[in-house]
Each structure stands twice: as structure tokens, then as C-alpha cells.
Structure 1
Amino acid sequence: MLQKRILLIVGGGIAAYKACELVRLIRKAGADVTCVLTEGGAHFVTAMTLAALSENPVHTTLWDLKNEVEMGHIQLSRQADLVVVCPATADLMARMAAGIADDLATTLLLATDKPVLAVPAMNVRMWQHAATVRNVATLRTSGVTVLEPDVGAMACGEFGPGRLPEPEAVLAAMQAQLAPSPPASLPLPLAGRHVLVTAGPTHEPIDPVRYIANRSSGRQGFAIAGAAAAAGARVTLVAGPVTLPTPPGVTRVDVETAREMAAAVQAALPADVAVMVAAVADWRTADAPAHKLKKDGSGTPPPLALVENPDILATLCRDPRRPALVVGFAAETDDVIAHAVAKRARKGADWIVANDVSGDVMGGTANTVHIIDAAGVDSLPEMPKDAVAQAIVARIAATLAATITNGTPA
């Protein structure tokens, strides 16, 4: 982001305090940032704070005579390389979608000819309301990039999608927006390849209303699918039950259970590469009844007989149509590398990407991974999941290229 110019619009919401950290990260990345503070945003952060962090004047009103004479809101809207709205509240996105220009922020957004990135933050029910869903769809159709909010606990006490993504994740999205497109004359590194990716959890029914699952958000798998598609691959994404948007250029197959995922993986073959990121439930109930299980007043829960689910990774590694490169994932809480090394040998995968999930990794936006292959262990620093995906896809492309050039196995 060196020498790029960012116009940051800070909307009104408790998440506005994270805009201060975002400004710091933008400056650290070598970019210039100018802030526009809305009336609502000023209830949570001050213009003085943003000015000190950005080292630029902060704009707050459409009716500033000095600024209008010297610069004008039209010029301000077009000087930046990227306009970022963070946090983007339900109200602000509704006005953006309707084309309303009743304050400095919305006037700039209507007048700009530069790409716009909106980072939503709001109550879960507001995010899921039909009006917000419609407004987000309108913005995306109009060319605005709208990030998906994080899932988690909110200041209001409720839980669900609506949390502002962490500043590091927002910065990664900004960097992706500003990244130059590869020249048309240069071939994409995975052009002509078929990459199969699994992502998210599986849900194994206990009865019609309950299920066995895990905390996987699907974010890392979706990021890898998107990065592979951006690298030119034909990507099949087999997704467990998550609400993430499908990355551009990716063919998505939605499944719920481990058996459905196993069948979808088989149906997607042959593939050149398989990246098995999904956190598949190891067990399912032997017999899920068609009716809801009820308490009987005894204080004793009904017995649940569990059976093992199919081992999708091991089955794929033994398949005659096995991809040239099979990458498995290992989510561990202790002895991370030792367990991953053992898993690679046991499953027959070429690589295992291991991470420590004892914290909030499975619901968060950052990850620290270790890539285990026949040569040893390569540990990557903590990065946003999008950056982790790009690193893994770059390594996949380099490995496939070496296989073609040298004839060495993946």
C-alpha cells in the first residue's frame, strides 16, 4: 500500500473505536489516510484522535467554507485511490444504496469515481433484516465491495454475524482492492488447473432440531478458494453450512453432513490439487430419530450411540484418481506440530497445514500456520486469513511448476 491514498469514512457505532487502530495500520503500511468523521461517529471517537493518528486534517461537515474554497468535496472524493467506510452502519449503507447525499460522507460517496470498500458493523438482527440484505445486494451490484461481518458476541449482548472485522482483516481487504491486476500477457500461475477445496464444519443431526458440530467459520477455506481462483484455477468449493459469500470465480457445492461432503468430493474428481480445510465432524449419531427428543423428567439425557464418519482425507489419498497434490489441515490444541506430522503419515497427504485452535482462531480473522511436508516444517507468522490463503496458494503454484519442470513428485 506504499504511497496509496485512502479516504476513510468513520460511521456512527460502538465499533468506530476500531477505526483508530485501522488508521494506525494504514500509516504503518506506508499509505496516506484522510478521515471523514460522521456526526454519529463523533459520538464514539474524536476528530482530534483521528487527526493525530493520520497526521492529516479530519473533515466533519459539508458546510465548511474554508475547505470548500480550498479543496471542495468533489475533489476530496476523487483524490483517494480507495474510499473505505468503516464502520458502515445499517443507516449509512441504506443511504448509500438509495443515493442520498445529505451530509459530507454520503455526498463524497455519491461523487467519487474511485473504488469503495464498506465494512459493516451492526446488531445481528439489523444485519439479517430484509432491508439490510437488500441494501447490501444493491451496493454490491453497484460495484461497492461489502465485506462480511464477523460472527461473535456484540456490545448489546447478542451473538451472531454483525461484528466489525478486526483492523488487520480490513487492511488485508484494502490491500487486495489496491493490488494491481496481472498483465494480460502473463499467464496466471494456476491457469488450466482444477483445485478442489473443502471448507467449514459439518452438521451431524441428533434429531430434527439438534446436531453435532464444531466452531469452524469456513473463512480460511473460502479464502483459499478465492485465492486459487484469482490465480487462474478452476475451483470447486465444497462448503459446509456457513453463511459466507461465494468467492468470485468459484463453483460452490453446499453440503451439511460428513457423508454428503465425502460424496461431493468424489463427484468433483479428478482434480490437480485438493486442499481439505473443512473441519469434518469425526462422529455422527447411529440413528437420528424423525421426532424431537424430549426430556422425560428423570434428569438423565437420552443415550446417543455414535459411529465414526468417513475419513474424507484418507479416502482421497488412497483414491486411484488422487490429485497430484493433496493438502490436509490439522486443527490442534496441544503438541500442534507433533500431531500434524503424525497425521500426515497416517492419512497419506503431501502436506498438512497445522494451526493451534486453543484460542479464537476458528471464529477469528487471523491464523498462524505450520506447513508440514516431506522436507520438514515451515512456520508462517500470524497473518490475516486472506494473507495465509495467498501464501498457501503461491506455494501450491510453485510446487506444481517444479513438478512440471523437474518431474519431481509433489
Structure 2
Amino acid sequence: MSLKGKKIILGVSGSIAAYKAALIVRGLVKAGAEVRVLMTKAAADFISPLTLATLSKHEVTTSVHDGESWNNHVELGLWADAMLVAPATATTLGKMANGICDSAIVAVYLSARCPVFFAPAMDLDMWAHPATRRNVELLQSYGNHLIDVGTGELASGLSGAGRLAEPEDIIKILADFLAQPLGKGTPLPVKASNTGTGMSTKADLTGTGVSSPAKQDLKGKTLLITAGPTYEDLDPVRYLGNRSTGRMGIALAEAAAARGASVNLVLGPTELTTTAEGVTLHNVRSAREMHAISVIKWPKADAAILAAAVADYRPSRTEAGKIKKKEGPMTVKLVRNPDIAAELGQDKRPHQRLVGFALETENGLENARGKLKRKNLDFIVLNSPNDKGAAFGHTTNKIQLVTGNKVTAFELKSKDDVADDILDALVKVL
């Protein structure tokens, strides 16, 4: 991994994760980069500018002017091969997204002609909030590159998505990007290292395993697909979850992209992933995180396929420490999670199509038809763990497509083939 001769700007904002900036600077310098550090005033409360100046061997900039001299942010923006903001707090994300230029970081960002990467760090509810999601989407729409948050224990004591990506992963992403034979500032999809950090990136153009499709009947369409389980934390080490692997939803995303669609895949916590061209991957953990991204992506989608096994309930509170065993029974109070399908169905516009999934162990058709009407779905995919080789944990599935009074049953097939059956049905209603 080499960054020899590369010029990197590192912007550090006021998060508890700012201490990791020292590791990032040291790693960048060790890889051969020349590093200039910018800090917000809040960041200096968490890590000394002197520390980063010593590691980078350059003076740290904390403001555009200090009362006596002027720091030329335009010149710095032109100097760099890449700009990295890590950690990027909710405040800094909001200011970057909306052009609020009251810090050295935003001033240089607005002047930069190089690729810009941002690695957020904040508490899980802040990360899942629609305002934050909107700002992230805005930054990505400008051509900036998200190095997504990791999942684990947070400074608040809660556990979930919001941790700063690991320094070595951040450095690898920069090195891989700058090693590409592209001109300075040319947008390039960033491939995550899939090391469990929960990175959400555009997939690169290699390793998709998908041959050129014979049909492009979804070309020009934008699809939202949810997949996998959601985990609802009880404490830092325990959670409520289910056995979904996400395989069915991933198969749908890859097949839709092969047909020409642009796909946003919102994927719950699972060991499976995808690097298919045309699929933008959003890793989430909880139902609320999946809900937050889905409601943002839905207005610009032509269709959504909700294949995720979303938890209907979550604990009313997540304990900061591990729950200790006590005498007698334990009671956990649960509260309802947002109903993603119902909310998207309520907001569905005439040109949009919405496909749901129903996993039923009894009264399957009756329950599926109830969901179809109640959630304003165009059709629903019914499957059951009672069928051998179907539903969770299998590479195969056996489904029925339910549309009003019409039911189309299929034999047991690979999930890749099932995905094509579902997309054929979607194309017809689109």
C-alpha cells in the first residue's frame, strides 16, 4: 500500500474519535504521503494540534485567519491530490453539505478541486436521523466519497452504527483510489475492504461475477431493495434478531443491476455482501436505520422490493452495560418499530411500484392478501420456512406471487432464478 508523493489534506472535526486522527496521519506519512492537517476548534478539545503537527511535520491550520495572518485555503485546495475529513461530525457534515463556511475545513473543501472523502463518526441515533442522512446524500450527490461508519460500542455506551471506520481501512481506500490510472479529481467508485466496518460505497467494476445480460428491461430505472435481518440491541453484547442471511435480496439487487437498473441496496447485518456494478450498498443494523435510508431513497425510486426481514419490535431501551443475571425471570419491554412497507405504500406516487415479502408459517395466502391491501403493495412475494429448502438459510427458495385474487406459484429454485421471476413480474407492472 503506497501513497508515495501524494498530497493529502486531513480535516479533523470535534468527535471523541478525533484521537484516531493521529493514527491516520501516522499511517498516511508511513505510506509516503505529505499531509496537511485542518482542525475545527472543537477538535482541539479532543486532540492537541501539536500532536498532529508533530506527526505530519507541518503546522496545523485551525482557522482561515488568526487575526494576524491569512491562511490561503484556495491554494491548499489546489495543492492536494485528495481531501479526507475524518472524523466528520454531524455538524461538519451539515456545514459541508450546505456550504456554511465558518471553519478552515469547509473553506478548503469549497475550494478543493481534488477528490473528497468523508468518514463520519457520531452516535447511532444521530447517524440514523433523516437530517444526517439527507446531508450524506447531498455530499454524495456532489461527487464526494463516503467511507461509511462501523458498528460497535459507541462513546454513549450504546452499541450500533456510528463508529469511525478503522484508520487502516481509511488509508487503504485512499491508496486504492489514488492508484487508479485516472486524472486528478475524476470520480471513481470506491470499493470498501469488507473488513466488517460497515462501509457503504459504490461497488467497483471488478469481481461482480455477472455476465452481460441478454435483456436490459430495467435500464434507466432506479430500484430500492432492502435485504437481510435487523438487529435490535438489548445491551452492548446481546440483541434481538432473526436468521435471515440477506441472500434473496442480494440476488435481487445483482439481477436488477444486470438488467440495467441503478440499485440502492439497504442491507442488514449479515456476512454476505455484493460488489456488483450498479449496486450502491448501504449497510445498516437496526430497523430504524433501515427505515431512515429507505424513506430517503424512496422518492427518487421507480420501484422498491422490500425483501428484508425487519424486526417488528425493539427493546424500549438499550442498556449501557451488559445485563447481569439475577434470580427469577427477566422482563423486556418491547416497542413497535417503524413499518417501512406501510410508510412507503402511503407515500407511493402513481408511477411507483412497491413489492413486499411475506414469510408465513400458517394462513399464508390470507395473511399475504391482508398485507397487500393494508400496505398498498402492487404484489407480494409469499414464502414459508415450512417448505423444504425455502426461506432463511438456504440458497434456494419456493415462492408464490400474490396480486389481488391472482396467485402464481413457482417450484423450488435457486434464489438467483427466483430473483429473475420476481423481476419479470415487476417489469410487467412497471
**TM-score for the superposition, normalised by structure 2:** 0.50
Amino acid at match of 1:212: N
Give the counterpart of 1:312 among 369, 383, 394.
Answer: 394
Q: How does 1:278-357 map to 2 (within 5 A)?
A: 310=390, 312-313=394-395
8 Å contact 1:152–1:160 — kept in the other structure? Answer: yes
- Is 2:103 the counterpart of 1:51? no
Deviation at 1:254, TM superposition (A): 5.4
Deviation at 1:14, TM superposition (A): 0.2
* Cα deviation code 1:343-364 (max 9, x no counterpart): xxxxxxxxxxxxxxxxxxxxxx
Give the counterpart of 1:14 among 5, 13, 16.
Answer: 16
* Cα deviation code 1:59-118 (max 9, x no counterpart): 1221147763xx722111211100000010000111111111112111111111111101
Distance (whole Å) between structure 2 residues aligned to residue 139 and residue 190 of structure 1? 27
Secondary structure at 1:312 match in 2: coil
Question: Who is 1:77 aligned against?
Answer: 77
Secondary structure at 2:59 match in 1: coil
Amino acid at match of 2:6: K
Secondary structure at 1:57 match in 2: coil
8 Å contact 1:124–1:161 — kept in the other structure? Answer: yes
- Is 2:107 the counterpart of 1:103? no
Change (3 A) 1:160 1:56: same
Question: Who is 1:395 aligned against?
Answer: none
Question: Who is 2:242 aligned against?
Answer: 212
Deviation at 1:213, TM superposition (A): 3.5
Q: How does 1:117-136 map to 2 (within 5 A)?
A: 117-136=117-136
Distance (whole Å) between structure 2 residues aligned to residue 191 and residue 309 of structure 1? 26
8 Å contact 1:203–1:241 — kept in the other structure? Answer: yes
Change (3 A) 1:192 1:11: closer
Distance (whole Å) between structure 2 residues aligned to residue 154 and residue 7 of structure 1? 27
Question: Who is 1:396 aligned against?
Answer: none
Question: Who is 1:165 aligned against?
Answer: 165
Deviation at 1:235, TM superposition (A): 7.4
Question: Who is 1:38 aligned against?
Answer: 40
Change (3 A) 1:67 1:172: farther
Instruction: List structure 1 segments (4+ residues) > 2 angstroms apart after TM superposition.
Output: 64-68, 188-196, 199-204, 210-222, 234-237, 239-246, 251-257, 284-290, 305-315, 319-323
Secondary structure at 1:113 match in 2: coil
Distance (whole Å) between structure 2 residues aligned to residue 18 and residue 85 of structure 1? 12
* Cα deviation code 1:339-384 (max 9, x no counterpart): xxxxxxxxxxxxxxxxxxxxxxxxxxxxxxxxxxxxxxxxxxxxxx
RMSD, matched Cα: 4.5
8 Å contact 2:395–2:415 — kept in the other structure? Answer: no
Q: How does 1:96-245 map to 2 (within 5 A)?
A: 96-181=96-181, 193-194=210-211, 201-202=228-229, 211-213=241-243, 221-222=272-273, 225-226=274-275, 229=277
Deviation at 1:159, TM superposition (A): 2.3
Secondary structure at 2:63 match in 1: coil
Change (3 A) 1:314 1:288: closer
Change (3 A) 1:108 1:159: same
Question: Who is 1:4 aligned against?
Answer: 6
Distance (whole Å) between structure 2 residues aligned to residue 128 and residue 156 of structure 1? 15
Amino acid at match of 1:38: T
* Cα deviation code 1:247-301 (max 9, x no counterpart): xxxx9975236xxxxxxxxxxxxxxxxxxxxxxxxxx9966998xxxxxxxxxxx
Which stretch has the larger CA shift, 7-16 or 45-54?
Answer: 45-54
Secondary structure at 2:55 match in 1: helix
Deviation at 1:160, TM superposition (A): 2.0
Give the counterpart of 1:256 among 287, 293, 308.
Answer: 308
Deviation at 1:314, TM superposition (A): 8.2
Amino acid at match of 2:150: D
Question: Who is 1:61 aligned against?
Answer: 63
Secondary structure at 1:9 match in 2: strand
Distance (whole Å) between structure 2 residues aligned to residue 163 and residue 120 of structure 1? 8
8 Å contact 1:201–1:241 — kept in the other structure? Answer: no
Amino acid at match of 1:44: F
Distance (whole Å) between structure 2 residues aligned to residue 107 and residue 91 of structure 1? 15
Change (3 A) 1:321 1:201: closer
Distance (whole Å) between structure 1 residues aligned to residue 93 and residue 413 of structure 2? 51
Amino acid at match of 2:243: A
Deviation at 1:4, TM superposition (A): 0.9
8 Å contact 2:229–2:245 — kept in the other structure? Answer: no
Amino acid at match of 1:63: H
The total of aligned residue pairs comes to 259
Change (3 A) 1:92 1:203: closer
Change (3 A) 1:95 1:51: same
Distance (whole Å) between structure 1 residues aligned to residue 78 and residue 280 of structure 2? 38
- Structure 2: gaps spanning 5 or more residues: 184-204, 214-225, 232-239, 247-267, 295-302, 310-358, 368-384, 398-411, 417-430
Change (3 A) 1:214 1:15: farther
Distance (whole Å) between structure 2 residues aligned to residue 178 and residue 26 of structure 1? 13
Secondary structure at 1:194 match in 2: coil
Secondary structure at 1:212 match in 2: coil
Change (3 A) 1:194 1:33: same
Calculate percent identity across the aligned residue pairs: 30
Distance (whole Å) between structure 2 residues aligned to residue 219 and residue 288 of structure 1? 29
Amino acid at match of 1:83: M
Distance (whole Å) between structure 1 residues aligned to residue 94 and residue 415 of structure 2? 48
* Cα deviation code 1:128-159 (max 9, x no counterpart): 22211111111111111122211222111222
Deviation at 1:177, TM superposition (A): 3.0
